[in-house]
A and B are shown apart, each in its own frame.
Chain A
Amino acid sequence: MDSKKIMMVLSMFLIIGSSYLLFGNYNNFTTGQGGITGMPIATASVEVTAISQISMPVNSVSFGATEPGATKDTSKDSPPPFKIQNDGTVSVNVTIARDSSSAPLFSGTGGGDNTASFQFAANETVAEPGSFDTTTSLMSWTNVPGTTPITFLKILDFATSGDEAEVELRISVPIDEPAGVKSEALMFIASQA
């Protein structure tokens, strides 16, 4: 093969090769993901889902020293209950569960998950009543579940004038509960109502 033929073959190869690299992937272009640079774009789309999960530290509500057999709750704001606020722009439903990183609050007889030893209830705040649907939310004392969440707060509004709720807590210390500091971390999950 003479040099002219080699030159022609090489030229054709380079022309076809560069054309393929430049234009071969155009069918994969997706609009709305940025400017065309000559190479494929939109390798992936990324979406933030409308679910948020927040873990409460165990010491946010402290009942202080309590005798075995005693019952205490936050309904009189002493200690104050948890307060949940909707900071976003859509109404949310909220679930409650024990955080899997934490053990149940009590280990004595009648303690453990989903028992009357540790209960909660949704409540309206004095400052912002009517922030959520009180007819479908769990407004009466309900056992705190294990790690399987249950929805207790329905349609928490996002308007600043009415976007907050309280989570009352009640403890009943088992009569044979060993002495010591007791704590349980709770997990709240909000999703679009």
Chain B
Amino acid sequence: MVNMKINKIIKILAIIAMISLAVFGYALFDTLTYTEDIDLTMQLQVSDYVGFNIDTDAIYFGTVTPGGSSERIVTINNTEQYSTRVRILTGGDLAQWVSASENNFRINPLEERNITLKVKVPANTSYGNYTGIVKIRLKKIYI
């Protein structure tokens, strides 16, 4: 009688263990490969005057003349208790013109880092509006 109860408990535990194993595997995989992407829109106008737009809801490079350049600073603040690797990727019209002051770096727990994004407009650029995306990719570091 006692043995039957023990066997039943073990069977239940075994089922729970199988479910836990699946959850454990998924959670471990998710943790080890965890990344977070933060996308910011970039905007630039090329014209015959200088224009500033220091609004903070996107990266506005303002208005520059062909051959000119513009910079904005982005502050990255690690709010977690673990280190994170930061990669900065760009896309869109401005991808080839934009560079970051540093890239692919480690940011320690609770550390704050200022990154300067600079757009250099080629001298032969036509007047008009140009847009792009800067993707800040954050990956948890375990070591």
* A residues lining the B interface (CB < 8 Å): 4, 7-8, 10-12, 14-15, 17-18, 21-22, 28, 30, 34, 37-57, 59-60, 82-90, 92, 94, 156, 164, 188, 190-192
Find chain A residues with CB under 8 A from B58 CB. Answer: 48
Shortest beta-carbon distance, A95 to chain B, in Å? 11
Q: Which residues of B lie under 8 Å from residue A4 when comparing CB positions?
A: 6, 10
Q: Are A39 and B55 in contact (CB under 8 A)?
A: no
A51 to B55, CA, bound (A): 9
Given contact pairs A52-B61, A56-B65, a sample of 18 additional A-B residue pairs in the complex whose CB atoms are under 8 Å apart: A4-B6, A15-B20, A44-B136, A44-B138, A46-B75, A49-B56, A50-B54, A52-B54, A52-B72, A54-B52, A54-B70, A84-B51, A84-B52, A85-B50, A85-B51, A90-B55, A188-B52, A190-B62
- Inter-chain CA distance A190–B34, complex, in Å, is 38
List B contacts of A94 (CB < 8 A).
52
Task: Check A41 against B17 for contact (C-beta < 8 Å).
Answer: no
CB–CB B17/A15 < 8 A: yes
A130 CB to closest chain B CB (Å) equals 18
Kindly name the residue among B54, B69, B78, B138 whose own CB sees the greatest number of chain A CB atoms within 10 A.
B54
- 9 smallest CB-CB distances across A and B, nearest first, come from A57-B67, A11-B17, A21-B27, A88-B53, A190-B52, A14-B20, A18-B24, A83-B49, A87-B53
Bound CA–CA A114/B126 (angstroms): 34
A47/B70 contact (C-beta < 8 A), A11-B17, A39-B34 known? no
Given A7-B14, A43-B138, A48-B40, does the pair A82, B50 have CB atoms closer than 8 Å?
yes
Contact A47 B79 (CB under 8 A): no
Residue of A nearest to B22 (CB): A18
What are 12 pairs between A and B in contact, CB < 8 Å? A14-B24, A40-B34, A41-B36, A43-B138, A45-B79, A54-B71, A55-B68, A85-B52, A87-B53, A89-B55, A191-B54, A192-B54
B residues in contact with A87, CB < 8 Å: 45, 51-53, 60, 62-63
Residue of A nearest to B36 (CB): A43
B84 part of interface (Cβ distance < 8 Å): yes
Report how far A11 CA is from B49 CA in the complex, Å: 70
